[in-house]
Structure 1
Amino acid sequence: MSAAKPRAWPPRTTRARATRPRPPAKQTAQIPDAVISHYARLLDDSGVMPLIDAKLGPRPGPAGVPIRAVLVCLMVSIHHSGKATLAEAWRLAAFCLSPAAREHLGLDPDGPHPDDPHTCLADNRRFYRAFDRLTSLLDPARHDRRTRLPQHEADLLATAWEDTDRDHTRKRDLLQDIVTALVLTPVRWGKGRGYLTGFHGDVGIDTTAAPVFARPPRARRSTGELFASTEITAGWHHSAGNGPPEYGYSATLTVAARTRSALGSFPQLALGLVLDTPHKRIGANAITTLKPLAVLGLPTAFAAVDRAYTDQQPGHFARPARELGYKLALDYKVDQRGVQGSAHGALLIDGSLTCPLIPDKLARATTGLDDAAIRIPSHELTALITAREPYLLRLKQSANADGALRFQCPAAGTSPSVTCPRFDRLHQRGPSRPAAVDLTDARQRAAHPAAKPRILPPTPDHKSGELPKICHQHTITLHPGDLGHLDKFRQDLAYLSPSWRGTYSTVRAMTEGLNGRLKGHDLDLSDPKNRLAHGRVAQTILVALLVTVANDHFLDAWRHTHQPPDEPDASTETFEIPAEHLDRSPLTGRSRPPPIP
């Protein structure tokens, strides 16, 4: 019996060939002039080019490619591909711009010929050298980044990013000024258009990883000599989760957020950015992002931060943040919960000052609790947190020019929250006259002394000279240095109370949400392949451009959801391009000019 022949495949048809997948074309379509106009206007409105030109000064030889053109093309590359790479930016500038757009950016209108590799290579090198001029201008520790240095030489160069040398400090400050100006330009546009009307000043601050493509330091196999990374100031970023550490930089981001009780909506924007070595200057970098917001005229409310900021010295974060007008919403580590210290006899419990005679069960309600018990509190813990409230000292007077606050004893005043025999004895206050109470009125029942917690002093009680200051006075004044290093734990909401949860949890969720959007599909800050340029200056500028374009996208997405029906979609005001070359194709709002100040 002969073997059966395999069945032949059906003949290929024209339809089958037409539906066959094809690789994408190497060259993208021409970029609309409106996109170039928009990002050129954004860069010009930021004011960074005068800072760069003033620092650069006159240079001998040919002018070369303008730095402005390189930065605009990098933003266009991020807008179209999500990549902040010089190779992609040059490709778009060379082959995807109209002659009028190239002329506006100061480039040769004709551009390199695609079929001539020599002209392409020469144009590419000029483009790269322009970006190199910028990084050389701002780098306090200029060196050859193409080879690994011995670790001791790299450590010596890295000190230029931390020392007090005047020239190094000036370059570091100029670099940060450029970053701040870029990131805040879309924020100023949104504020000028009225998009931030619903923003009440609540911010979230967090540090996220910005990994680099460079390898970490390693020893040479033959000699055992330790060689540094080409990124001499990079380090290992350890996040709060269980994931492995990432080698690169840490990006401190301040995010516009709101509490659960706040009304109104606004675009979720990054309000500040600082790129630094991981786990260094955490508090100082957060303050650096907050200072420009006052100049911008934004309100101040709560600043919610994670436990990395709670660990900072008071002079590095907590006190400067309060001086800027922010209230703090903090979280604590396991060994920091419960009784943290005292001032003038009042106990500092989970960041709040309380009566020194608060029951021990309430004072130690959170002592030793792990994070899981805090995130999902039991009914018993919730009841203990609620029972703490009457024993908290009440704010009598907000901070003055020196930062001093006045707190009132919970047994003092016309509406005390507790009854205290010690207070009555020391201040010679007799028992109140009985009054008729309408038992159907909840407010009258709650205001009656019998309904309030009663302080139980020790028996026999201490002598008057041995009692703390809070018991001798109706109020105490808390100066910035009275708590010492424990002042970093003090916050303005009762820990784990409903108001604290409505503030801290909501703001932290919005902060993590923006971090997720910056590490999403279109723009991915966490992928080092999107930022291949070496050096801290280059990485700082590229991360700033990524966040700036992301802010612009966030504004555009929010406007499409909340734009009034009568507001125009886009403006025809672009740079001066002849009418026959002007691309007037509709755009998703990104061709709109900045608001009139």
Structure 2
Amino acid sequence: MPVVVGNEVKAERTANFGELSPGPVDAFAGWHVKSGKGERTDNQKGVIDQTAPERGKWANYDWGWVANLAVRVDAEEPGSKRFPSLVVAASLSIPNMEVAEEATRLLEAAATLELAPGIADADKQYWANAKPFRLLKPALKIGFTPSTDYRTDRVGVKGGKHGGLFVEGDVYCPSTPEPLLHATPNLLGDVIDIETHRARLEERKAYRLHVKQKANADGKTKLRCPALGPSPTVTCPLREMMLSAAKKNRPQVEQKTLEEDFLDTIGKKHSASFGLTEMQAPQQAFDYGSQEWEIFHDHARNTVESESQQLKASGDEDIATAGRRRVRGIAAAQIIVTLLIVNHNLRKIAAFLSDQAKERARTAPRTDTLRRRDRVWANRYTKTTGK
């Protein structure tokens, strides 16, 4: 219980209301955990940060509610400004409670706006931290594909099934070279640089299991060995391939690893069934760590943070100031916050249309037109008029 709430309870018991500090007090709220740098996390008080365990414990807290925002971003042309970045869904919630579920509700609300569900980007507190059944599974059901960074303890090889290895959202051949499997941990450990990391990720694609059958309603998909199918990407002594395909230059699976690795389903049969929610790291819309992924992820995160800062900025909505919503209770505050966000969206739409009009005026070809006073005039002395 925060001090101000404790003072209110004490004042009610003693009937001495003069000791109360001015301002509304609401006990139906929670501690919002913050770091010294102002970063957020979904932890209970005193718990180690789950997105980066090595950071240690967090010490700074705020009492109140949190606003959850879903902002429309451009996945096809990041940063092109083809449409205004509007808040398409928002809610208030108690900190540290049902964070993944709140994100799911935002996706459900966004899907009702007749916008086709696409890519949903979020920071490491959501896709990278929540259990699959809380966020990933319902998001896939709605039609959204995740885009996210990963927790530091969930990169590299994290389990597997049927002989396939789970690595950062994809399933790989068990004979994938070790340097390729550990490319991201080596980057985070300053063993390799970013150029080497991207080169290894590009090389690793050849060992990724191929999709034989897309995911069904239960989220199960059939994958096959990368040495099989009409377009194999590796050569393997255990797989019989057409002569024309075998002549192509592609990575060779090492013979010495076959006996111990190629004994499971993925090495014996034509395909194996995998659940998209079985991996700790969710499968993403873009190849994790690629330049395409980085461009979109940075664009999405910067857009959301920009919208958040604009909503908090004084002079306009100033949503973070309690004086802008002098009401008691989370339901009443939700109504006020909704009105402020609507006003924010209207300003963004007006600014977008104004910028478009200015751009059209700037790029439109100049035409010399005769002024109206020169086209239509009347000389009261000569009794003549213009044509």
TM-score > 0.5 by shorter chain: yes
The residue aligned with 1:318 is 136
**In the aligned structure 2, how far is the partner of 1:508 from the partner of 1:494?**
17
C-alpha contact 2:104 2:135 (8 A) present in aligned 1: yes
Greater percentage in strand? 2
Q: Which amino acid aligns with 1:326?
A: F
Q: How big is the shift at 1:320?
A: 0.3
C-alpha contact 1:418 1:454 (8 A) present in aligned 2: yes
**In the aligned structure 1, how far is the partner of 2:149 from the partner of 2:359?**
43
Matching residue within 271, 277, 295 for 1:502: 295
Greater percentage in helix? 1
Structure 2 residue matching 1:313: 3-state secondary structure: coil
C-alpha contact 1:350 1:494 (8 A) present in aligned 2: no
Shift in alpha-carbon separation, 1:264–1:460, aligned structure 2, 3 A = closer
Q: How big is the shift at 1:475?
A: 2.5
The runs of 5 or more residues in structure 1 that have no matched partner are: 1-144, 151-212, 216-228, 434-446, 567-597
**In the aligned structure 1, how far is the partner of 2:157 from the partner of 2:297?**
21
Alignment pair present for 1:456 and 2:271: no
Report 1 or 2 for greater relative contact order, CA contacts < 8 Å, sequence distance ≥ 6: 1
Structure 2 residue matching 1:421: 3-state secondary structure: coil
C-alpha contact 2:103 2:135 (8 A) present in aligned 1: yes
Structure 1 residue matching 2:197: 3-state secondary structure: helix
**CA deviation vs aligned residue, 1:39-80 (integer Å, no higher than 9, x gap):** xxxxxxxxxxxxxxxxxxxxxxxxxxxxxxxxxxxxxxxxxx
Structure 1 residue matching 2:106: 3-state secondary structure: helix
- Which residues of 2 match residues 272-311 of structure 1 at below 5 A? 272-309=89-126, 310-311=128-129
The residue aligned with 2:73 is 257
**Which segment is superposed worse, 280-289 or 384-393?**
384-393
Alignment pair present for 1:470 and 2:253: no
**In the aligned structure 2, how far is the partner of 1:307 from the partner of 1:460?**
36
**CA deviation vs aligned residue, 1:555-596 (integer Å, no higher than 9, x gap):** 111121225999xxxxxxxxxxxxxxxxxxxxxxxxxxxxxx
C-alpha contact 1:480 1:487 (8 A) present in aligned 2: no
The residue aligned with 1:204 is none
Q: Percent identity between the aligned chains?
A: 28
Q: Which amino acid aligns with 1:149?
A: V
Q: How big is the shift at 1:276?
A: 0.7
Shift in alpha-carbon separation, 1:415–1:241, aligned structure 2, 3 A = farther
The residue aligned with 2:154 is 336
The residue aligned with 2:275 is 479
The residue aligned with 1:148 is 8
Structure 1 residue matching 2:65: 3-state secondary structure: strand
Alignment pair present for 1:529 and 2:346: no
Q: Which amino acid aligns with 1:242?
A: K
The residue aligned with 2:216 is 400
Shift in alpha-carbon separation, 1:264–1:416, aligned structure 2, 3 A = farther
**In the aligned structure 1, how far is the partner of 2:209 from the partner of 2:22?**
53
C-alpha contact 1:236 1:245 (8 A) present in aligned 2: yes
Structure 1 residue matching 2:63: 3-state secondary structure: strand
C-alpha contact 1:354 1:392 (8 A) present in aligned 2: yes
Shift in alpha-carbon separation, 1:398–1:503, aligned structure 2, 3 A = farther
**In the aligned structure 2, how far is the partner of 1:480 from the partner of 1:358?**
20
Alignment pair present for 1:539 and 2:339: no
The residue aligned with 2:50 is none
The residue aligned with 2:282 is 489
C-alpha contact 2:276 2:282 (8 A) present in aligned 1: no
C-alpha contact 1:260 1:506 (8 A) present in aligned 2: no
C-alpha contact 2:89 2:106 (8 A) present in aligned 1: yes
C-alpha contact 1:339 1:367 (8 A) present in aligned 2: no
Q: Which amino acid aligns with 1:289?
A: L
Q: Which amino acid aligns with 1:510?
A: T
**In the aligned structure 2, how far is the partner of 1:301 from the partner of 1:240?**
32
**In the aligned structure 2, how far is the partner of 1:407 from the partner of 1:362?**
20
C-alpha contact 2:187 2:193 (8 A) present in aligned 1: no
**In the aligned structure 1, how far is the partner of 2:241 from the partner of 2:138?**
44
**In the aligned structure 1, how far is the partner of 2:62 from the partner of 2:340?**
19
Structure 2 residue matching 1:458: 3-state secondary structure: helix
Q: How big is the shift at 1:241?
A: 7.1
Shift in alpha-carbon separation, 1:493–1:460, aligned structure 2, 3 A = closer
Structure 2 residue matching 1:291: 3-state secondary structure: helix
The residue aligned with 1:432 is 243
Matching residue within 550, 553, 567 for 2:347: 553
Alignment pair present for 1:390 and 2:206: yes
**In the aligned structure 2, how far is the partner of 1:288 from the partner of 1:470?**
37
Matching residue within 348, 358, 363 for 2:176: 358
**In the aligned structure 1, how far is the partner of 2:161 from the partner of 2:331?**
45
Shift in alpha-carbon separation, 1:286–1:327, aligned structure 2, 3 A = same
C-alpha contact 2:154 2:281 (8 A) present in aligned 1: no
Q: Which amino acid aligns with 1:526?
A: A
Q: Which amino acid aligns with 1:517?
A: Q
Q: How big is the shift at 1:552?
A: 1.4
**CA deviation vs aligned residue, 1:257-280 (integer Å, no higher than 9, x gap):** 012646771111011111111121
TM-score, with normalisation over the residues of structure 1? 0.49
Q: Which amino acid aligns with 1:340?
A: K
Shift in alpha-carbon separation, 1:471–1:279, aligned structure 2, 3 A = same
Aligned residues: 322
TM-score, with normalisation over the residues of structure 2? 0.74
Q: How big is the shift at 1:330?
A: 1.9
**CA deviation vs aligned residue, 1:524-570 (integer Å, no higher than 9, x gap):** 2223333333322232222222111111111111121225999xxxx
**CA deviation vs aligned residue, 1:417-456 (integer Å, no higher than 9, x gap):** 111113x2xxxx15725xxxxxxxxxxxxx8755311111
